[in-house]
A and B are shown apart, each in its own frame.
Chain A
Amino acid sequence: MSGTLNVLIGLAMGLNLVALGSSRLPALIQAMSLQGVLLGVMPLLLEEEGFNWRVAVVAAATVIGKGIVIPNLLRRATRAANIERESDPFLGFVPSLLLGAGGTIAAVALARALPLLPEHAGTLLVPGAIASILTGFILLIGRVKAISQVCGYLILENGIYLFGLLLIHSTPLLVESGILLDVTVGVFVIGIIVDRIQRAFDSLDTRRLTTLRE
């Protein structure tokens, strides 16, 4: 079981790098939604004793939410705002890719040093979580388009979700539903902001927000 799980987490970590390296927004959203689907499947794999319908519902909800609904919203936003790619970001694509890769390696090395429960020590859950959070931060810091930043935020949230999976046996779903709620609120808020920025400035470049500082 942990073998399949590790492969999935490995793929998710790979998708982090894809997200960091892609300049086209649709590709970025694609990577994020794929990661959401992978994350949604994971609770099913963690369940040892047979089928648990509550977990199944959560998995389905996660796949639908992270994998279909939110990406579709974002795709609509890109179409509405009529932007295709992230042009001249603060942090270039090659440096952010290298940073992300370095962060991933450091996460794997760090997770070995952490005092983890024996059942978590063999999995990539913790490094995957740290790597995703780092990726999210790099995207949030390095990109200028609001939609990229939303994606960064969601990838960051995916990392927190991975941490939440560690607790799935003790506090099932509580953590997760709380997080999902957060995200929904976040997406709505950002969606509204995106819309407002778009109308006010005819652009989604967050750098222009600096004119608001007075």
Chain B
Amino acid sequence: MWLPQLVVRLALWLLLAPLLPGLINRVKAWVAGRRGPPVGQLYYDLAKLWRKEVVWSTLASPAFIVGPAVAWVAVVGAALLLPLGPAGAEWSFRGDVLLLLYLLALARFATAWAALETGSAFEGMGAAREVSYAVLAEAALITAVVSLSLQTSSVSLTTMLAPTAGAGAVLLAAGLFTVLLAENCRVPFDDPNTHLELTMVHEVMILDHSGPPLAVILHGAAVKLLLFSVLLVQAVVPLDQFSRGVAVAVLAGGVLSVTLGVGLVESFLARLAFRRVPLLLTTAFLLCLFALLVAWKGGVQ
């Protein structure tokens, strides 16, 4: 019984994820009055890359190719830990939320490792930014987790994400949305469309990747974006108060509106100067911290 379920769930995650970047690009095109690439552009790109030949640096070790695979498995594993509204999670146990956080960290480690393989200063720069900003993003994320755990007295994602986030929901939503933007390297932290390597974070780490490994990296990034959107929606919206069908619709709608939000942010904001990034991430941390305090107060009364 569990095997078909796992297959369906995995297929959902893997197949739907590349839709999100496409949607974001559509929103941006719409705002700018352009026609823009088709929604399924990333699918075409992935299919094309998957068939391509690989060229890799003479300096790189096998970990250059193993790294993306490990990062992909870590992100997909984290995604499987996440409950999907009424469908629950594939695995659920006490403390699974910590496994989720640390799997994302493993993915970051593997990506940064693969980037450093090439000996290129650009990719070192990207890796440095990735691992450094993650420090602040991690603080915000764990604070959000503590606030959810305080509300539900649980450390298991299925229970933590089911009820409403309470009075602090707005704060939590703002904080988690900022973390989403930072962790997925979107504007205002990073510009996925920039052509200036000096100002990139994620894109510059994968400059030297090509063919199937690059496809795996791009797909993993899409899954990560979907993962954060699903996490954000479930943390804020009390899905357990709806019937099954409505809950699924609300979840899907929530993910779409997060996507829309990312698109709008990218249309109207410019990338921040790097020295301003810590300030914004600290703000995200504080938002989550105040959500935590609200959760604390809410429980006492």
B-contacting residues of A (Cβ < 8 Å)? 17, 21, 93-94, 97-98, 101, 105, 108
Are A97 and B279 interface neighbours, CB within 8 A?
yes
**Which residues of chain A come closer than 8 Å to B290, judged between CB atoms?**
101
**Which residues of chain B come closer than 8 Å to A93, judged between CB atoms?**
279
**Which residues of chain A come closer than 8 Å to B282, judged between CB atoms?**
21, 94, 97-98
Closest partner residue, chain B, to A101 (CB atom): B286
**Which residues of chain A come closer than 8 Å to B289, judged between CB atoms?**
101, 105
**Which residues of chain B come closer than 8 Å to A97, judged between CB atoms?**
279, 282-283, 286
Give the secondary structure class of A's interface: helix
Contact with A along B193-225 (1 / 0, CB 8 A): 000000000000000000000000000000000
Complex-state Cα separation, A94 to B283, whole angstroms: 9
At the interface, yes or no: B278 with Cβ under 8 Å from chain A? yes
Within 8 A of A (CB), among B276-298: 278-279, 282-283, 286, 289-290, 293
The answer to whether residues A108 and B293 also contact, given A93-B279, A94-B279 and a CB cut-off of 8 A, is yes
Q: Which residue among A21, A101, A105 has the maximum number of chain B CB atoms within 10 Å of its CB?
A: A101
**Which residues of chain A come closer than 8 Å to B286, judged between CB atoms?**
17, 97-98, 101
Complex-state Cα separation, A21 to B283, whole angstroms: 8
CB distance from A113 to the nearest CB of B (A): 15
Q: Which of A21, A101, A105, A108 contacts B279 (CB 8 A)?
A: A21
CB distance from A188 to the nearest CB of B (A): 33
**Which residues of chain A come closer than 8 Å to B293, judged between CB atoms?**
105, 108
Complex-state Cα separation, A105 to B278, whole angstroms: 21
CB distance from B226 to the nearest CB of A (A): 30
Within 8 A of A (CB), among B248-295: 278-279, 282-283, 286, 289-290, 293
**Which residues of chain B come closer than 8 Å to A101, judged between CB atoms?**
286, 289-290
List 16 contacting pairs A-B, 8 Å CB cutoff, sorted by A. A17-B286, A21-B283, A93-B279, A94-B278, A94-B279, A94-B282, A97-B279, A97-B282, A97-B286, A98-B282, A98-B286, A101-B286, A101-B289, A101-B290, A105-B289, A108-B293
- Supply 15 further A-B pairs (C-beta < 8 A) apart from A97-B279, A101-B286: A17-B283, A21-B279, A21-B283, A93-B279, A94-B279, A94-B282, A97-B282, A97-B283, A97-B286, A98-B282, A101-B289, A101-B290, A105-B289, A105-B293, A108-B293
Q: 6 tightest CB-CB pairs across the interface, nearest first?
A: A101-B286, A94-B282, A93-B279, A94-B278, A94-B279, A97-B282
Closest partner residue, chain B, to A108 (CB atom): B293
Closest partner residue, chain A, to B171 (CB atom): A14
Complex-state Cα separation, A136 to B9, whole angstroms: 53
Complex-state Cα separation, A94 to B282, whole angstroms: 7
**Which residues of chain B come closer than 8 Å to A108, judged between CB atoms?**
293
Closest partner residue, chain A, to B301 (CB atom): A122
CB distance from A189 to the nearest CB of B (A): 32
CB distance from B297 to the nearest CB of A (A): 8
CB distance from A104 to the nearest CB of B (A): 8
Complex-state Cα separation, A101 to B282, whole angstroms: 10
**Which residues of chain B come closer than 8 Å to A21, judged between CB atoms?**
279, 282-283
Complex-state Cα separation, A94 to B281, whole angstroms: 10
Complex-state Cα separation, A98 to B283, whole angstroms: 9
CB distance from B252 to the nearest CB of A (A): 31
Complex-state Cα separation, A163 to B278, whole angstroms: 34
CB distance from A206 to the nearest CB of B (A): 23
Closest partner residue, chain B, to A97 (CB atom): B282
Closest partner residue, chain A, to B281 (CB atom): A94
CB distance from B21 to the nearest CB of A (A): 30
Closest partner residue, chain B, to A100 (CB atom): B286
CB distance from B149 to the nearest CB of A (A): 19
**Which residues of chain A come closer than 8 Å to B283, judged between CB atoms?**
17, 21, 97
Complex-state Cα separation, A198 to B96, whole angstroms: 60
CB distance from B253 to the nearest CB of A (A): 27
Complex-state Cα separation, A100 to B223, whole angstroms: 37
Complex-state Cα separation, A21 to B287, whole angstroms: 13
Closest partner residue, chain A, to B289 (CB atom): A101
CB distance from A126 to the nearest CB of B (A): 15
**Which residues of chain B come closer than 8 Å to A98, judged between CB atoms?**
282, 286
Complex-state Cα separation, A28 to B289, whole angstroms: 23
